[in-house]
Amino acid sequence: MKYGLNNFVIGCVALASTHVFAEEPAQLDLSLKPVSYIGDIGWQSFRLPKVTLSRTSSVANTHWNTLDNGLIQQISYNVARLLYRDVGKAPQLPTLKIVFEDMKGVAYKEGDFNGAIIHLSAQYFEKFATTHSEQAVYDELIGVLYHEIAHAYQLDDHNYKEIGPVIEGIADVVRMKAGYVDFSHRKVGGAYDSGYKTTAFYLHWLEQTLKPNLLVELNAQLDPNDDIKWSWALFAKESGISLTESWNKYQESL
């Protein structure tokens, strides 16, 4: 795969080198997208999780076979770099298990900073593969992993029930910054608190136009140990952003 080199660090787990790239997945002619962030030698001390890959489904999936522990660790590192500015504030998961299994839906994460498990639906990816190219299926798999691993690392105010839309939106911003969200999916409508990609596109637009480093700052606001209950009103106050005005401007930009 080819990458443009600049003053950013390309996402990788070989932290001793500034520009080291993940190897191509075996057998299939597939490519990974680069992830960029400002270099910081302090992140050399970041501990990556012990990864376990487990397949319990009998559904054949060549894309699952391209995954390995190093790739999952790389995604974990990239996610942490996107969500946190300081390595000392980023959780360091001891274990991360990825399970490819028979289930409804797409994927979900369970566990906490003491160890997380991500469940992937074999049926979903089997169906997705019937109407998409090999590269598109691989991109979807990696994109889903970015979203779910973001859940394993992000802060959530211990209040998913009330603020789930922003938590899902943040996870999709991470996926977006990793290059695994199609911007052609943006459309007029919805609301800033609709969640998932609708919220993610809005947050990304805010970061690009009004508030640099918004993702890191927003994630920090969801610290469950700060004794502050997060809300969109608090976000508006802390960021100095009018939600109604900015949402309308974002809609006008589409």
pLDDT per residue over 23-61, tens digit each?
A: 444 456 688 898 988 888 999 999 999 999 999 999 988
Residue 92 lies in a domain: no
State the burial class of residue 194 (Cβ atoms within 10 Å of its Cβ: 0-12, 13-18, 19+). middle
State the burial class of residue 122 (Cβ atoms within 10 Å of its Cβ: 0-12, 13-18, 19+). buried
Structural domain boundaries enclosing 216 = 157-254
pLDDT per residue over 134-153, tens digit each?
A: 999 999 999 999 999 999 99
Provide the residue count of the chain.
254
Question: In whole angstroms, what is the distance from residue 163 CA to residue 148 CA?
Answer: 17
Residue 76 lies in a domain: no
The pLDDT of residue 24? 45
Q: Comparing C-alpha atoms, which of 91, 45, 54, 90 is closest to residue 72? A: 54
pLDDT per residue over 211-225, tens digit each?
A: 999 999 999 999 999
Residue 224 lies in a domain: yes
Q: What is the DSSP letter of 75?
A: H
Residue 173 lies in a domain: yes
pTM (global) more than 0.75:
yes
Residue 82 lies in a domain: no
The set of residues, in sequence order, having a beta carbon less than 8 Å from that of 4 and lying 6+ positions away, is: 34
